[in-house]
């Protein structure tokens, strides 16, 4: 009896445990199966496709195109849009139109400097070319004449060598009968010839100071115009309150044109100045050599009476 009671007491708790364990499992299984049951049924398959077309072999073949058939013409191309010339808003015109009185004055000064530089350079090169041609003429004709007067008359009236020769001849002819007679004839003629040489040198060097000034100052004039233009550009940008690249590039680029013009004016002036000075040295060497030879001939001729300053007359040298 006790044994049966013990079995029953053991079985009842065991069944309770099994029921308590199985109940959650069954509930979980029902929860998992519920969404599947609520899911919509799949759409019915579409009707069967229509029957396939007949085989390609049964389709009628189109007749072949003739060999000389013209090719299909292409449609005419659309007319190209006419090109419209766009005016540059950042050029010299904009610089002149947007600049104030200071910017325009600086631009005018640079233009005047550039024009003056080229004018002086061209005229000086032509003048030097004439002088070298006169030197060749003097070497060819002057020294082969029997007298100084004949040699001087064989040269062109515009020749600087004739001017020097005429100066020496006049100084020797008009030495007597005046206060200049107290000066020795040799010293007097030498001083007059040297003055004529200095006069020729002054003519050759005229205008070179302008080239030197332009070469040394025009870059700074252009830089001043650039600084002034940038100042006004930044002021206008600050007032407008817009600092985009299109607002900055235009005014600043126009201001930098001033520096470019200044450099474009200075470089030719410096190069021309150096070249003209070098050619002037060569020209003055030839003029001084001519003057020295002329002075030697005049001194020797007056002393020995072999060369006469005037035709048919001889002038003795004082103290000879």
What are the residue ranges of helices labelled H in 75-147? 92-98, 101-137
- Mean predicted confidence (pLDDT) in 78-98: 58
Query: What confidence tier does 185 reach under pLDDT thresholds 50, 70, 90?
Result: confident
- Mean predicted confidence (pLDDT) in 196-220: 92
Side-chain-side CA neighbours of 160 within 13 Å: the count stands at 28
Residue 253 predicted with pLDDT over 50: yes
pLDDT for res 271: 95
pLDDT for res 267: 95
Residue 181 predicted with pLDDT over 80: no
310 φ/ψ angles, rounded to the nearest 5 degrees: -125, 155
CB burial of 139-166 (b: ≥16 within 10 Å; e: otherwise) equals eeebeeeebbbebbebbeeebbbbbbbb
What are the residue ranges of helices labelled H in the chain? 2-38, 92-98, 101-137, 148-153, 160-173, 185-205, 208-240, 245-304
pLDDT for res 36: 45
pLDDT for res 197: 93
The end-to-end CA distance of the chain, in Å, is 190
Better-scored residue on pLDDT, 242 or 118: 118
| Beta-bridge partners for 313 | 310
Residues 6+ away with beta carbon under 8 Å from 269: 113, 117, 211, 212, 214, 215, 218
Better-scored residue on pLDDT, 111 or 234: 111
Better-scored residue on pLDDT, 312 or 198: 198
**Max Cα–Cα distance, the chain, nearest Å:** 193
170 φ/ψ angles, rounded to the nearest 5 degrees: -65, -40
What's the CA angle centered on 260, arms 257 and 262, to 5 degrees?
110
pLDDT for res 208: 93
Better-scored residue on pLDDT, 48 or 171: 171
Q: How far apart are CA 259 and CA 228, in angstroms?
A: 11
pLDDT for res 227: 87
192 neighbors 168 (Cβ within 8 angstroms) = yes
pLDDT for res 239: 76
pLDDT digits (tens, 9 = 90+) for 109-157: 999 999 999 999 999 999 999 999 999 999 888 888 888 888 888 888 8
What does DSSP assign to residue 83?
P
Residue 293 predicted with pLDDT over 60: yes
Nearest one of 296, 275, 249 to 117, comparing CA atoms:
275
- Mean predicted confidence (pLDDT) in 225-240: 79
pLDDT for res 318: 37
- Mean predicted confidence (pLDDT) in 235-251: 71
Residues 6+ away with beta carbon under 8 Å from 299: 186, 189
pLDDT digits (tens, 9 = 90+) for 11-70: 455 555 455 554 445 444 454 444 444 444 444 444 444 444 444 444 455 555 544 544
Neighbours of 23 (CB within 10 A): 10
Q: What is the mean pLDDT of the chain?
A: 72
Burial class (CB in 10 A: 0-12, 13-18, 19+), 250: middle
Q: What is the pTM of this model?
A: 0.61
pLDDT for res 299: 78
**Rounded percentage of the chain residues whose pLDDT exceeds 90:** 29
What does DSSP assign to residue 141?
I
Query: What confidence tier does 2 reach under pLDDT thresholds 50, 70, 90?
Result: very low
């Amino acid at each position: 009896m006790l044994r049966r009671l013990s079995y029953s007491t053991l079985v009842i708790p065991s069944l309770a445990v099994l029921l308590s364990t199985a109940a959650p499992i069954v509930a979980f299984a029902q929860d998992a199966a519920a969404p599947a049951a609520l899911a919509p049924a799949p759409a019915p398959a579409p009707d069967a496709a229509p029957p396939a077309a007949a085989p390609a072999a049964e389709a009628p073949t189109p007749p072949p195109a003739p060999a000389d058939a013209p090719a299909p013409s292409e449609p005419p191309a659309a007319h190209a849009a006419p090109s419209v010339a766009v005016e540059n808003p950042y050029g010299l015109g904009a610089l002149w139109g947007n600049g104030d009185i200071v910017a325009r004055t600086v631009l005018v000064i640079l233009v005047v400097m550039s024009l003056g530089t080229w004018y002086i350079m061209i005229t000086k090169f032509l003048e030097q070319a004439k002088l070298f041609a006169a030197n060749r003429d003097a070497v060819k004709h002057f020294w082969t004449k029997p007298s100084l007067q004949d040699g001087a008359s064989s040269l062109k009236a515009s020749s600087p060598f004739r001017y020097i020769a005429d100066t020496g001849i006049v100084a020797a002819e008009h030495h007597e009968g005046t206060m200049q007679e107290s000066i020795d004839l040799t010293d007097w003629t030498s001083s007059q010839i040297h003055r004529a040489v200095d006069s020729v040198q002054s003519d050759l060097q005229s205008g070179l100071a302008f080239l030197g000034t332009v070469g040394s100052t025009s870059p700074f004039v252009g830089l001043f115009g650039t600084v002034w233009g940038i100042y006004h550009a930044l002021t206008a940008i600050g007032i407008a309150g817009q600092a985009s690249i299109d607002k900055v590039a235009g005014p600043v680029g126009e201001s930098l044109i001033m520096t470019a013009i200044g450099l474009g004016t200075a470089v030719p002036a410096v190069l021309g100045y150096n070249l003209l000075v070098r050619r002037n040295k060569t020209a003055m060497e030839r003029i001084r050599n001519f003057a020295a030879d002329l002075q030697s001939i005049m001194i020797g001729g007056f002393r020995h009476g072999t060369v006469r300053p005037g035709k048919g007359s001889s002038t003795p040298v004082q103290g000879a």
